[in-house]
Structure 1
Amino acid sequence: MALTQSIDSFSIHPLNEPHVQRNNVIPFLAARVRLQITLPHRPQELAGTQLRALLHSPLGVYVVATQAVRQEIRVQLDIAPDDLDFTLHTLIATLPAAMIGPLKRRTAAVMAR
């Protein structure tokens, strides 16, 4: 059975009228939060082993900054508040030794980037 209806009949407006582009959509930045976690450095492991495990986990897409300070690695995750439950469960399952830090609202300077 073949389709006999023309694609032109699905048009919303007549073809002889010019297309009007509407710019009434106002973009806004969704509320995001920063979650800082600390990965302790253990002497028997390589320094990047835990970080590598985090980056290859589903949480790797949320990582926005890493910093090595003394005997630990600090990682900042940029997440939507709706993803907090998923993030915490995955973090605990992936890196149980990680220390979960404060949850802070993103600053305006970071949003402008």
Structure 2
Amino acid sequence: MALTQSLDAFASQSAGQQPTRRNNVIPFPSSRALLDVTLPHLLLKTLLHSPLGVYVVSTETVREAVRVQLDIAREDLDFTLHTLLATLPAATIGPLKRRISSQSTSAR
């Protein structure tokens, strides 16, 4: 395989020259949300093996049930609710809260 550029072109650049640093990337705020779902202990395995299992960020045992927190993109809310209702009809869907990203708080 042949090189498309001569090796001399790379040697002509000075070794002490710093590459130009561009800081023109503007971070957008997170468009993710946290959804609380409460379900019986026996259904936790069903949730974790469903397509929604990848969204689970925390679980907490509360009396006779498990409280699960899902971290979802706001665009996925429709899919999430339909899948929850179809897969886990006994689940109780709690409030939807905006997720506060750790990057936006540390940048201030």
TM above 0.5, yes or no, is yes
Q: CA–CA distance in 1 between the matches of 2:4 and 2:61?
A: 59
TM-score normalised by the chain length of structure 2: 0.71
Query: Counterpart in 2 of 1:58?
Result: 51
- Compare the two structures and name the one with the higher helix fraction: 2
Q: Structure 1 pair 21/58, CA: closer, same or farther in 2 (3 Å)? A: farther
Please say if 1:78 is aligned against 2:77.
Answer: no
- 3-state SS, counterpart of residue 89 of structure 2: coil
Gaps of 5+ in 2: 104-108
Distance 2:61 2:75 in 1: 29
Secondary structure, counterpart of 1:84 in structure 2? helix
Any idea what the Cα deviations from partners look like across 1:62-93, whole Å, max 9, x if unmatched? 11110111011100101111000111111112
Partner of 2:102: 112
Q: Counterparts of 1:94 and 1:87 in 2: how far apart (Å)?
A: 10
Structure 1 unmatched runs, 5+:
1-5, 9-13, 42-46
- The residue identity in structure 1 corresponding to 2:33 is V
| Length, aligned pairs only | 96
- Confirm whether residue 26 of structure 1 aligns to residue 16 of structure 2: no
SS of the aligned residue for 1:30 comes to coil
Cα distance in 1 between the residues matched to 2:43 and 2:20 = 50
Distance 1:33 1:84 in 2: 9
Aligned-pair CA distance for 1:27: 3.1
- Name the structure 2 match of 1:38: 38
Q: CA deviation at 1:61?
A: 1.0
Change (3 A) 1:100 1:20: same
Q: CA deviation at 1:19?
A: 8.8
RMSD: 2.5
